[in-house]
Structure 1
Amino acid sequence: MKFAYRFSNLLGAVYRQGNLNFSKDGNAVISPVGNRISVFDLKNNTSETLPFSTTKNISCVGLSPDGSLAIVVDEDGAAVLVSLITRAILHHFHFHKPVSSIRFSPDGRKFIVTKENVALMYHAPGKKREFNAFVLDKSYYGPYDETTCIDWTDDSKCFVVGSKDMSTWVFGAERWANLIYYSLGGHKDIIVGCFFEKDSLDLYTVSQDGTLCVWESDTELDGLILKKSQDKPKIPRQGEEEEEEEGEERDKVEGEEGEVIRGKVETAKEREKKKNVRYKMMSKHFFNKEGDFNNLTAAAYHKPNHILVTGFASGIFHLHELPEFNLIHSLSISDQRIASVAINSSGDWIGFGCSRMGQLLVWEWQSESYVFKQQGHFNNMASLAYSPDGQYIVTGGDDSKVKVWNTNTGLCFVTFTEHTSSVTNVTFTSSGFVIVSASLDGTVRAFDLHRYRNFRTFTSPRPAQFSSLAVDVSGELVSAGAQDSFEIFLWSMQTGRLLEVLAGHEGPVSCLCFSPVQSVLASCSWDRTVRLWDMLDSWQTKETLPLTSDGLAVTYRADGQELAVATLNGEISFWNPHTATQNGSVAGRHDLQTGRKETDKITAKQSAKGKSFTSLCYSADGESVLAGGQSKFVCIYNIKEQMLMKKFEISCNLSFDAMEEFLDRRKMTEFGSLALVDEGAGDGDGVSISLPGVRRGDMSSRHFRPEIRVSSLRFSPTGRSWAATTTEGLLVYSLDGSLVFDPYDLDLDVTPASIRKQLRLQEWASAIVLAFRLNEKALKQEVLEKVPHEQIPVVCGSLPDIYVEKLLGFIATCLEKSGHLQFYMTWAQNLLMLHGQKLKNRSGAILPTLQALQKSIQRHFDDLSKLCDFNMYNIRYAVALSKQRGLKRAAEEETEDQEEEDEELSEEMSEASLEDAEMML
């Protein structure tokens, strides 16, 4: 249970490549991120990464019409059939060649896969269990170049395929007598999109040069004639030649089953009493009317609304109404190429993916507003930090941005762009509302999470590149280490002034860390020392700890009684900072298991000798340490036993370099590895091997494969999860208690029946103790929620001390998702009030539980405060409106009274005038 961490979510990346899809209800976007799939719920504003991955980056995703199944295909053509309901892989399949697009038929019975110049039709997997879920039905040959896009008619009778040879092919899904295939030309560039009109064979085709062709068919869908079965051979009559089917050949392709249909460019002859389907170009429209060269890169069409959305290489998109080609809307949403476009089922929301910037946008075109707007770090992530309550994660990257992520929703809610160079380190202050970041641009900046602004900028007297950062417990002292001058700079947060420059190291300062309990700064350097600086005693060196190799990372335990240091020789040493003595060490070089890069001339085992851990982090309880480096593995070590407890493989994506341990025999030639063979005809060895220490590879080379590595690791303060910044993104691993049976002090009498018997006898305290000994979540929740509200103080007072901490931790986890706020808050309040002193004595061990409780309460407080504020403004508006109406009504009543008085007065005057007239007469 203690190390049952499972992959939970992927943050820091929202889109990489491939096609976007909307869910059936149109409220969620399904986006491929590397070799994983992320689902972004637009209604609830949350994200979820599905718990499976492919062997390489995903190239296309096909979604079934009912939204329950998805076929995910990677760059090599390896496909997995996934259930989006259970999040499980149902079937593996390999198409053996890269797949350009995949599309289910509207009735869900078939799906088309296009690879190279062929379209393959498969029977869609059904609800029955089958040995082979993908059964090939027909193969369609027609285009001379790679196929690019597919679309189906609404009744699944025909489909259309676009190609790079500038032609579009219409094929019959069944054996229609008057439509076997049809080829359409008219374009001068690659076909980007082809779309059928609703309930019709009419077509729209869009090419890369910004041309739209409108095609009209002379036959309706009902006019397709099904070919009669040819099971019995037809005997020709005397004097009648045997008819040969024009334009169709039936043969078998080696290694494939199913019928093969080959299209020819020649037009099929029309037979007697039967007219073949024909197309006519009705109109031709151009997007680039000004003549500027702007490639059309993505297109989508919504049939019910007749809306065509086109995305361009410049980041502009257009909305047109077809077939009149009326421009509805045009907007620039990015400065990079739009790689994918999708429209939801209602036609209100349009999803855009920009692969170079890692952007995912959802635009509501009717109100002209963003529904969703996220962008990950489009370059490597360098560091991360948890907020003190574990609710937020801040990340810094090589794209000079600082982003803050919500751990509950998985979305970024603020981005700071003040830095002008790579951000090397980020951290939170103890208050949790200030973020401090260090950068290679020579500045350390402090950001306020209340007003979202950069309120402090710390600089050095002469320009320096800051590579390490630390803030003390009070949040008053900010320190940063320079790469080039070997100095440590110290600033005051209050005034922003430079207080001191600490000199003494003889090599670059690689890591800084403040003690959590006293004002002592630990600095780790390449000069094979760790120095402890006393902040209260004139910033003098308190102790110097000698290391066996260059120091790379240093971290304090949560109670400040121990120090862990990672060195270049792959060791992790543990020190007592008060006595300056070493308590133990772990040799972790063999646990890293680094992979072999394509251009390596030595084995992975030999290259592992030069690898080491570059990031360290203590667990929340301080009993274990988390370590990662330039490898795909993250290790957890037990400090007391000094042994490896568990190893996590953070990625299995072979699109990254240094993933495989051995040479790929498929890339071996008689001259050696294909990656090391020079393609040029020059003399000598012209292959550019990357220099030692280069992490990203040669950016100028044609083929660029990033190397897998872990740049930073952090445990959540609650102890329920840990996060790592990797080449893939920000990976979050959480404890999954539902899958682990972890009883405590179990014996034969502890059964669900005996626990429920205690409940019937109203022995609440003993029932809770028995439930926690069995340790099943559902049973614990059942027992806890059956305790009467007025009995909670009595039960809390009679609980044994050892179960108080367990109950408090369980309440913290229940409070995170439960709606019984007052009930669980009453439990927490009584436990803390009655056992406060005992808990205080064990503050180090109980701290993660209290922080988990604080995180849950804070999240509910934020949600409720927003709701209350919203309601308060609504009430104020309603009161002001009622007052306004009351005043208006009072004014109306006053005018009515005045009018009545005027009428009475006029009546009296008229009566008086009549009396006067009578008297005069």
Structure 2
Amino acid sequence: MKFAYRFSNLLGTVYRCGNLNFTCDGNSVISPVGNRVTVFDLKNNKSDTLPLATRYNIKCVGLSPDGRLAIIVDEGGNALLVSLVCRSVLHHFHFKGSVHSVSFSPDGRKFVVTKGNIAQLYHAPGRKREFNAFVLDKTYFGPYDETTCIDWTDDSRCFVVGSKDMSTWVFGAERWDNLIYYALGGHKDAIVACFFESSSLDLYTLSQDGALCVWQCDTPPEGLRLKAPTGWRADLLQREDENEDGDEDEDGEREATVRGKAAPAAEEQQGKVKYSRLAKYFFNKEGDFNNLTAAAYHKKTHLLVTGFASGIFHLHELPEFNLIHSLSISDQRIASVSINSSGDWIAFGCSGLGQLLVWEWQSESYVLKQQGHFNSMVSLAYSPDGQYIVTGGDDGKVKVWNTLSGFCFITFTEHSSGVTGVTFTATGYVIVTSSMDGTVRAFDLHRYRNFRTFTSPRPTQFSCVAVDSSGEIVSAGAQDSFEIFIWSMQTGRLLDVLSGHEGPISGLCFNPMKSVLASASWDRTVRLWDMADSWRTTETLALTSDALAVTFRPDGAELAVATLNSQITFWDPENAVQTGSIEGRHDLKTGRKELDKITAKHSAKGKAFTTLCYSADGQSILAGGMSKFVCIYHIKEQILRKKFEISCNLSLDAMEEFLNRRKMTEFGNLALIDQDAGEEAGVAIPLPGVKKGDMSSRHFKPEIRVTSLRFSPTGRCWAATTTEGLLIYSLDAQMLFDPFELDTSVTPGRVRAALRQRDFTRAILMAFRLNEKKLLQEALESVPWDEIDVVSSSLPELYVEKVLEFLASSFEASHHLEFYLIWTQKLLMAHGQKLKSRAGTLLPAVQLLQKSIQRHLDDVSKLCDWNRYSIQYALAVSKQRGMKRPSEPLGSEEEAGASDDDDDDDDDSLHLLGGGHGGEDEDGLLA
């Protein structure tokens, strides 16, 4: 089995903090998720997380006008210059301070960074090769407090900066003679946003107390005059002129403009740029205290969107300040607002709930509405075909995610307390969950409802759940009564209560091949219960420490147990004999918490693996726990194969091995001083004269940990629920060179020569030895469909598995469905009996094949059902009209015209019916 797994996608978290951005075409939203960036494609209904990460949580993202580059800045001031085309980091930079916002100029030649109480203007990285991508041009001073927002004029001549000191500053991007800087007041609270009007220097400023000021400038953008250089700059330009000897080149006009030698006398007499306030408007007319927290302005449509701390947003038309509509989207603070290029879609981010919404204001409907788990995820499970993942969280919610699109399509909220375990039945249409609220619930994915609720005779807290391979028996382990409860899925009745453990039940697992249940407990035992023989205990496996997790191998011939002493032990369940052991203490490498009194090396002694999962072929095991590492071990050799670092985010706790000495003062560790979260969460100041926010609000760093791990049934990827969210790691086929029985005689030229000679079997064998995807596709698609039967039966058995894996992966992207289905059918018909002996190794390939075919079946079946209903409707309408017509006397021209009109009505009704379907389908894709 190959282990070239790489980070693929991040699910379960859609927004954390920072600013939202729309791409240039307006079809995708770029959302910062912790220390990563996710792109939500609204047209194609997909989400994709970029394979890069910052050191801390992302503070702001600046997008270039052409949409090719992005500047991502984290809370520590570290910046990444990212190419969104090739999805890679081009340059690293450190701004040496906390950056609040980044904004590119509309022409893409410069960008401004607000840092502290200054604004810095940089030359944007161009297409030519540069030694340093970020070159500082100017530093602008003026505000006395932190700067908060930036906006540019359409011609990139000036930019405006808002500040917490209630002032707004207009700066010139060039050395203008009549505008160096201009300060505007008029507000009584911190500036939240400021916007220039289209093709003008007129300005709108918004403050936190809900006030909007409209400023008019007496000078158009064309009236800005460049300042003539003085001193050494003038001498330098004069020398250059003498050297040029009067030769004019294509840049001559621009140089003359820049130097500004001959300014007309009339322009010299003109005064400086002046602003006057035209109007002042207030959002909070009712007098309620509601802070304005975010705003966005679309210059073409003059649409202003404002978000507030109460979750309300307003849409106004400027400059008249006409209210279009006002809605409440949540009860939490709106942290970020963005409008797409056409002005139709508005994106809202709520950091308190981790919620991302895209609203189409004209039709007043949601384009996207996604929310992750409010608290951390606890458990996950893959569906049998690998298409869906179900997750349970401490917030009591159960969410089902589509692995292809990355979106959650259903959320179950029936549990009233934290969910402790989730699992799918063998059919894949039923989810069974356990919770601390004392219930085990079964959910139907056909009708999206809770159709069974299993309870115990007396209230107890369930810590784990398991369902047998038939889907008929449901078991759950209790945390406080140390018992295991068995129910019938069909009737919902309690069948039996298994007693014998002397500690809380930490894990349950059914044998995939037999009706045997394994239960792990803190009493240092694992018990095996026979479901077919009156639920008696067949074996008790004694351990050296508390058992934390238990799992069976896919073929049921081996049992793995994780214990509190950081060991993984392997058992033969038939003979109750230990077959192996892995010491994992040194591989966990836990970090040191900020408040720990002991070092990371000593704190690792108390850590252990808390979740286990066998690989699809059963040769390796995946282990994770209270650490940022996930380990893959080879079971037979008992060695570490690979270790994955799931996060490098230093905003999480227990990430660093050594404490930062800068935080150690004479008064103790600075981490002990609880930072007030009032300003960050937008908490209203409760009493007059109080400078701080709510002193009961606590600011803490969540600890990095892995709570659950699962391999996909296809074996191509695995998922982990962590503090950051649901991480998906998949095999990177592009970076993997896997020559299979390769020798020097096999070349692409020989493959194509064999295809020209119509020796298809030899060509396919050589193509699989080279293992290049394009060459494989060319060889397989060159076979005529009527010769597939002969070619597939002549393939050696060793190559059949390779062909099946290639066909399964090709179904996801190829449009030649029928051709590949014929290949699949002929291969399975010709080699089905021989492949039964290697069913275990072939299982991942067959499940990947099933997943791909099932996805196409779902898509095509919807279209076929719609066409069938449309034809039935058309036939019913035609029969109804056919029954009416014989009773009507025909012959007159008017009646003939009426019958023609009826036919036209039929066509119109069918046309409208088809049009309605198109609109509905498109909305379905968007939603």
TM-score, normalised to structure 2, is 0.89
The verdict on how the C-alpha distance between 1:109 and 1:291 changes in structure 2, with shifts beyond 3 A counting, is: same
CA distance in 2, matches of 1:483, 1:584: 29
Counterpart of 1:210 in structure 2 is 210
Contact 1:671–1:677 (CA under 8 A) maintained in structure 2: no
Query: What is the letter of the counterpart of residue 600 of structure 1?
Result: D
**1:797 counterpart residue number:** 793
AA at the equivalent of 1:440:
M
Aligned to 1:412: 408
**Identity over aligned pairs, percent:** 74
Residues paired across the two proteins, number: 849
Q: Is the 8 A contact 1:514 1:522 kept in 2?
A: yes
Change (3 A) 1:752 1:478: same
Q: Residue type of the partner of 1:811?
A: L
Q: 1:59 to 1:558 in 2, by over 3 A?
A: same
Instruction: Please give the per-residue CA displacement for 1:711-751, whole angstroms capped at 9, x wherever unaligned.
Output: 00000000000000000000000001111101112222122
Contact 2:624 2:631 in 1 (8 A): yes
Gap change, CA 1:880 and 1:63, over 3 Å in 2: farther
Name the counterpart of 1:478. Answer: 474
Question: Alpha-carbon deviations, 1:560-600, whole Å to 9, x = none?
Answer: 00000000000101101001001101001110010011111
Structure 2 unaligned regions, length at least 5:
236-265, 677-694, 898-927
Q: 1:274 to 1:234 in 2, by over 3 A?
A: farther
Q: Match of 1:398?
A: 394
**Cα distance between partner residues in 1 of 2:105 and 2:747:** 52
1:238 corresponds in structure 2 to none
Q: Distance in 1 between matches of 2:651 and 2:675?
A: 22
Q: Specify the SS of the correspondent of 1:545.
A: strand
CA distance in 2, matches of 1:483, 1:229: 79
Q: By how many angstroms is 1:110 displaced?
A: 0.5
Q: 2:635 aligns with which of 635, 639, 646?
A: 639
Q: 1:748 corresponds to which letter in structure 2? A: T
SS in 2 for 1:817: coil
Query: Residue 546 in 1 paired to residue 542 in 2?
Result: yes
Q: Which residue of 2 aligns with 1:658?
A: 654
Distance 1:436 1:898 in 2: 67
Letter in 2 for 1:524: A
The SS at the match of 2:561 is strand
Is 1:41 equivalent to 2:44 in the alignment?
Answer: no
Matches within 5 A, 1:278-427: 278-427=274-423
Deviation string for 1:410-440 (max 9, x for gaps)?
1111000111110011000000000001000
Task: Spell out, residue by residue over 1:763-809, the C-alpha distance to the aligned partner (whole angstroms, 9 max, x if none).
Answer: 11121111112222221111111111111100111111111111111
* Separation in structure 2 between the aligned mates of residue 679 and residue 103 of structure 1, nearest angstrom: 29
Alignment-derived partner of residue 779 in structure 2: 783
Give the Cα separation in 1 of the matches to 2:675 and 2:573. 56
Structure 1 segment 492-507 matched on structure 2, within 5 A: 492-507=488-503
Q: Matched residues in 2 for 1:536 and 1:882: separation?
A: 60
Please report how far the alpha carbon of residue 668 of structure 1 lies from its aligned counterpart in structure 2 after TM superposition.
2.7
Structure 2 residue matching 1:739: 3-state secondary structure? coil
Determine the C-alpha separation between the residues in 1 that align with 2:754 and 2:592.
60
Partner Cα separation in structure 2 for residue 86 and residue 233 of structure 1: 41
Does residue 127 of structure 1 match 2:123?
no
**Offset of residue 673 of structure 1:** 3.9
Deviates more, 1:878-887 or 1:153-162: 878-887
| Higher deviation after alignment, 759-768 or 803-812 | 759-768
Q: In 1, distance between residues paired with 2:671 and 2:14?
A: 31
Q: Which residue of 2 aligns with 1:843?
A: 839
Q: Of residues 511, 514, 528 in structure 2, which corresponds to 1:532?
A: 528
Give the match for residue 219 of structure 1.
Answer: 219
Change (3 A) 1:66 1:234: closer
8 Å CA contact 1:628–1:635 kept in 2: the answer is yes
Aligned-partner Cα distance in 1 for 2:442–2:234: 86
Q: SS of the residue aligned with 1:860?
A: helix
Task: Specify whether residues 700 and 288 from structure 1 end up closer, same or farther in structure 2 by C-alpha distance, changes over 3 A only.
Answer: closer
What CA distance in whole angstroms lies between the structure 2 residues aligned with 1:815 and 1:180?
61
User: In the TM superposition, what are the counterparts of 1:833-872 in structure 2 within 5 Å?
Assistant: 833-872=829-868
Aligned partner of 1:517 in structure 2 is: 513
User: Which of 748, 754, 771 is the equivalent residue of 2:750?
Assistant: 754
Is the CA contact (8 Å cut-off) linking 1:558 and 1:622 kept in structure 2?
yes
Tell me, what secondary structure is at the counterpart of 1:842?
Answer: helix
For 1:900 and 1:347, the matched residues in 2 are separated by: 50
Q: In 2 relative to 1, CA 887–42 (structure 1 residues): closer, same or farther, beyond 3 Å?
A: farther
Distance (whole Å) between structure 1 residues aligned to residue 707 and residue 644 of structure 2:
15
Alignment of 1:446-845 (within 5 A): 446-670=442-666, 673-675=669-671, 702-845=698-841
SS of residue paired to 1:810: helix
**Cα distance in 2 between the residues matched to 1:532 and 1:310:** 61
The CA distance in 1 between the partners of 2:311 and 2:372, in whole Å, is 17
Aligned partner (choices 429, 433, 437) of residue 433 of structure 2? 437
How far off its partner does 1:304 sit?
Answer: 0.3
Distance 1:488 1:224, change over 3 A: same
- The answer to whether the aligner puts 1:92 opposite 2:88 as a matched pair is no
For 2:61 and 2:600, the matched residues in 1 are separated by: 34
How many Å separate the matches in 2 of 1:785 and 1:89?
37
**1:139 match:** 139
Q: Distance in 1 between matches of 2:273 and 2:895?
A: 80
Q: Does 1:67 align with 2:67?
A: yes
Q: Does the 8 Å CA contact 2:47/2:405 hold for their aligned counterparts?
A: yes
**Alpha-carbon distance change, 900 to 133 in structure 1, aligned in 2, over 3 angstroms:** closer
Letter paired with 2:279? S
Alignment correspondent of 2:918: none
1:51 partnered with 2:51: yes
Given residue 203 of structure 1, which amino acid in structure 2 is its aligned partner? L
Question: d(CA) in 2 for partners of 1:876 and 1:282?
Answer: 64
1:678 Cα deviation from its structure 2 partner: 9.6
Q: Which amino acid in structure 1 is aligned with residue 140 of structure 2?
A: Y
* Matched residue SS, 2:54: coil
- 2:786 aligned counterpart, secondary structure: helix
Unaligned runs of 5+ in 1: 236-269, 681-698, 902-921
8 A contact 2:675–2:698 mirrored in 1:
no
Q: Who is 1:24 aligned against?
A: 24
Structure 1 Cα separation of the partners of residues 200 and 808 of structure 2: 58
**TM-score with structure 1 setting the length:** 0.90
How many angstroms apart in 2 are the aligned matches of 1:679 and 1:619? Answer: 44
Instruction: Kindly report the root-mean-square deviation, in angstroms, between the aligned alpha carbons of the 2 structures.
Output: 2.1
Structure 2 distance, partners of 1:13, 1:47, is 11
Distance 2:281 2:896 in 1: 71
Taking the aligned partners of 2:328 and 2:875, their CA distance within structure 1 comes to 43
CA distance in 1, matches of 2:156, 2:877: 56
Distance 2:702 2:671 in 1: 15
Structure 2: distance between partners of 1:898 and 1:829: 60
Cα displacement (A) at 1:757: 2.1
C-alpha distance in structure 2 between counterparts of 1:847 and 1:344, whole Å: 46
How many angstroms apart in 2 are the aligned matches of 1:170 and 1:678? Answer: 37
Equivalent-residue separation in structure 2 for 1:70 and 1:12 (angstroms): 24
Return the index of the structure with the highest Cα Rg.
1
Amino acid at match of 2:534: S
